[in-house]
Amino acid sequence: MTLTDTRVDDSYPTRIAGKPEHLPRTHPTVWGAEADGPIDAAALANHEARGYTVVDQLLSPGEIQTYWQELVRMSSGDHRDDERVITEAKTGEVRSIFDVHETSELIAELVRDPRVLDRARQILGSEVYIHQSRVNYMPGFKGTGFYWHSDFETWHAEDGMPAPRAVSCSIALTDNYPFNGGLMVMPGSQRTFVQCAGETPEDNYKSSLKEQRVGVPSEEDITKLAAEYGIDQFTGQAGSALWFDSNVMHGSSNNITPYPRSNIFVVFNSVENALREPFAAIEPRPTFIAGRDSTPLSR
């Protein structure tokens, strides 16, 4: 694939040398309408305002067990030579496995399930493809969290995603409590793009997937956003799903409880928002992290 240099036409400049600023988002959060899918008008309006939606009991108890067994299977064995497997920096335990819709038939079916795919199409107002898929493992006592960040900042800077016309779906396979590292989001923060300082190091993904140091906002920025938007936390039973906009500021804390927190994480991107050349990196990240095949996903 030939990449086109589009960095001169950048609506969301980041990884800058000067002082980062808060820029107003120039694109909608919801692109579709009530007639386009299963989400009603009130829920769509709420998603547009808050940047996220929780769907309870998306999966049945039997499905939860099936997918949990699949996570166990994928995490077993020797992964030392598999770049798609990310381990904890301190313990060496599996932290995430990427590209799972390509390596697991069960997850390939899940991303095409109407309960999932139809919501993605409706929110983005178009056909969609998989930008990224992974399973996240946060074991009891040892699971480390993710610092505050906007996914779109990284996807724009390092992958070449032009606009925040992407939505993530996190499906819980374990119960999410307030105390076992549940995801925190700042409702409404998707309306503000927070620039980040510093250049992108070469092969930054090799370290950032374990602990992100570049492309994260300052403590001052986080304080301002929290004061303006507040903080919500995703809690609920296994089988529930969190849909959230690509530019929502979010993060999670470490899990020091005995209760693990694992999930299937899928990012849908509009086919009308296909990746270009990175806006703030020398080379794009590997395709197992950022898919470049924008062929529409079919059932």
Mean pLDDT of 97-113: 96
pLDDT tens by residue, 138-165:
777 877 778 999 999 999 999 999 999 9
Residue 237: what pLDDT?
94
Of 164, 170, 186, residue with least CA distance to 241 = 170
Least confident of 1-5, 64-68, 196-200: 1-5
The pLDDT score that the predictor gives to residue 255 is 85
pLDDT for 80 equals: 66
Q: From CA 34, how far away is CA 273, in angstroms rounded? A: 22
Strands 241-245 and 52-55: antiparallel
pTM: 0.93
Q: What is the mean pLDDT of residues 80-95?
A: 78
User: What's the pLDDT score for residue 213?
Assistant: 74
| Residue 210 pLDDT | 60
For the segment 113-138, the average pLDDT, to the nearest whole number, is: 96
> Average pLDDT for residues 181-188, to the nearest whole number?
93
Structure tokens at 57: 């009991």
Does 52 score more than 70 pLDDT?
yes
Domains, the chain, ranges and CATH?
22-264 (2.60.120.620)
Cβ atoms of 254 and 140 within 8 Å: the answer is no
Mapped onto helix, strand or coil, the DSSP state of residue 15 is coil
Comparing 72-81, 182-191, 262-271, which segment has the lowest mean pLDDT? Answer: 72-81
Look at residue 142 in the predicted model and tell me its pLDDT: 77
HSE (side-chain half, CA atoms, 13 Å) at 106: 14
Q: What percent of the chain has pLDDT over 90?
A: 73
* pLDDT value for 208: 67
Residue percentage of the chain with pLDDT more than 70? 94
Contact 229, 128 (CB under 8 A): no
Strand partners, 243: 53, 169
Average pLDDT score over residue span 59-66:
97
pLDDT, tens digit, 9 for 90 and up, residues 190-211:
999 999 999 998 888 776 666 6
Phi-psi region at 15: left, alpha or beta (left = phi > 0; alpha = psi -120 to 50):
left
More confident residue, 177 or 168: 168
Phi-psi region of 33 (alpha: psi -120 to 50; beta: other; left: phi over 0): beta
Average pLDDT, the chain: 91
pLDDT of residue 118: 98
Summarize pLDDT for 4-36 with one digit per residue, the tens: 444 458 999 999 998 999 999 999 999 999 999
Q: Would the pLDDT of 181 be above 90?
A: no
pLDDT for the residue 9: 81
**pLDDT tops 70 at residue 2:** no
